[in-house]
Amino acid sequence: MLTVGYIGLGLMGKSMARNILKAGFPLIVHNRSRQAVDELVSEGATAAYSPREVAEKVDVVFTNLPDSPDVLKVALGVDGIIEGAHRGLIFVDNSTIKPDAARQISRQLEEVGVQCLDAPVSGGDIGARNGTLTIMVGGSKEALEKVMPVFQAVGKTITHIGESGAGQVAKGANQIMVAAQMVAMGELLIFAQKCGTDPRKVVEAIRAGAAQCWTLDVKPPRLFEGNRNPGFKARMQSKDLGIVMDTARTYGIPLPGTAIASQLFQAMVDSGLGELDNSSVISIIEMLAGEELKI
């Protein structure tokens, strides 16, 4: 049985760590704020006080952190994973970061005998709680095989994409589609309502046709209830789109639709709406249209 470490117990990370614990793996946890650590300790986990301490005590260490600089610091910085590294340790990053940052971390940790997997996830807080996340994996197949039992505790669809950084490329592609769907949903709801048609009926109709998608299946009922609480925060969607656009510039890739979506999500952050769900991009459409979705 692998001993597992989990660093970063936010909206997604805490639920994922809990599912690892429920699956029977000995679990050591660390987080900048202690409330989530204390909560998991009360359920059977063990607390650690630095990434270095976690790495020293486990076979596999996971991170789930906000952005590339955070993962670089935890993995490679003072009191970081690299300082507690031991040969045979596997490092798995569930964060969404730049592919080049994932490759840098992999190169440096491999020099001290650590195998690395970039393994961002999709499925939101619901998927994290239910253990049904989609996991996109970059890195060695050998390392993936070793940690597969842990992945199966948190995810339903686990796909090896390719070498280091490939998981992050797949997550970027995922976020291109997610953002497009959220924006399109906001537009169609306001379009239907402002044209004098019941948007609930419109959703019911088009979900049965070519427009069917996870977003239309899950998000409209929450919006019609006036619930814009986060399953996935808009500011994180904006951050992910920033990574996509930065990577696209590096490789000379035109992404006109994603550029517009990125501006709309940045407008949410600038308007103080970044803590709301990413489906709440409809708020920007409402402002532009002068029409609020009826609940």
103 vs 119: CA distance, rounded Å: 12
* Beta-ladder partners of 60: 4, 90
HSE-CB of 111 using CA atoms within 13 angstroms: 9
Q: In this structure, what token pair is assigned to residue 190?
A: 């306001």
Which spans in the chain are helix H? 13-22, 35-41, 51-57, 68-76, 99-110, 124-130, 141-154, 166-194, 199-206, 214-224, 234-251, 256-270, 282-289
209 vs 223: CA distance, rounded Å: 21
Among 14, 171, 233, 239, the one annotated catalytic: 171
Rg of the chain over all Cα atoms, to the nearest angstrom: 20
Q: Degrees (nearest 5) of the Cα angle 78, 80, 85?
A: 125
- 171 assigned to active site: yes
The catalytic residue positions are: 171
